[in-house]
Amino acid sequence: GINAEYMGFLHHAVLKNRWTGSIFGVLVGNVFQGFSGTWWKNKHNTHHASSNELDNDPDIDQLPFIAFHPALLRGGDAIRKSPLAKLLIPLQCLTFIPFMCLARWNWCLQSILFAWDETRLIRGAGGRTLEKIGIIIHWAAKLPLFIYFPFTTAVLYLMLSEAVGGFLIAAAFSLNHNGMPVYFEDQFMNIDFASLQILTSRDVEANPLTDFWCGGLNYQIEHHLFPTLPRHNFHLAQPLVRAFCAKHNIKFHCVPYWQGVAEFIQSLQECASMAWKEDFTHHVYKIAHYPLHMG
């Protein structure tokens, strides 16, 4: 829930005043979660601008640990050039959840490196100083664990809490784009903005449970089309987007939660099977252009 609010503030979807929204982003992100707001915005804005574009979308670039789509294996080159990928990708259906449990540690480490890297440009409310202060407060607040509990207990609690946090984030957001089409740069440049966001995103059918679990981002298509739209209005935008897709014959992909999970696992399994057998003959490096329209 905190992570969803963090993204809401940094998407400027909560408050009209961007400066105030950035201050709340530092509070909810840097202080409450240990994430650098500027690091996250740089990463996430790139993702929005190049959704599922090979080589440019940072959210799908998880090699050598995970391959979300066969195109990322580059016809086997990614496996042949990386012993670690050759070891891990065939096992990724088993290792995905453990890796996601480590995700928060990775994001926090990247945030620290970003905030303390003087070559990185940090603008906005408070700038680099406020970013650093927020992260320091986050980790300083954990020190009482080591004062009031035995060292081993404190470490185990810290590891477990971060692992659960990483798992919950992954469980809520893994369905947004994974298992959806991936485009190469030459294909990407020939797709209009709206079609790209619609075709590379997956909506999860809304009900009170999925709305709560996904923090409103089960309306991923609407979120990508209108990133500053408050999440409580996504359900109002969805019928308009569906009508737009029907009018222009663009595929609108909306599935129940567990079907989305199945599609995601199928994509992981396909990559794992290809890597295990080292058989990439049926999936050439330059994959065929995904259809823009239905039918």
Span 203-225, pLDDT tens digits: 999 999 999 888 888 999 999 99
Task: Report CA 81 to chain centroid distance, whole Å.
Answer: 26
**Which residues of the chain fall short of a pLDDT of 50?**
2, 5-6, 284-295
Distance CA(166)–CA(127), nearest Å, equals 27
Q: pLDDT at position 117, please?
A: 86
Q: pLDDT at position 163, please?
A: 93
Q: pLDDT at position 269, please?
A: 93
Distance CA(27)–CA(37), nearest Å, equals 9
Distance CA(273)–CA(283), nearest Å, equals 12
Q: pLDDT at position 265, please?
A: 93
Q: Are 204 and 177 in contact (CB under 8 A)?
A: no
The closest alpha carbon to 89, from 77, 101, 107, belongs to 77
Q: pLDDT at position 286, please?
A: 38
CB atoms within 10 A of CB 278: 11
pLDDT, one tens digit per residue, over 132-141 is: 999 999 999 9
Distance CA(181)–CA(58), nearest Å, equals 15
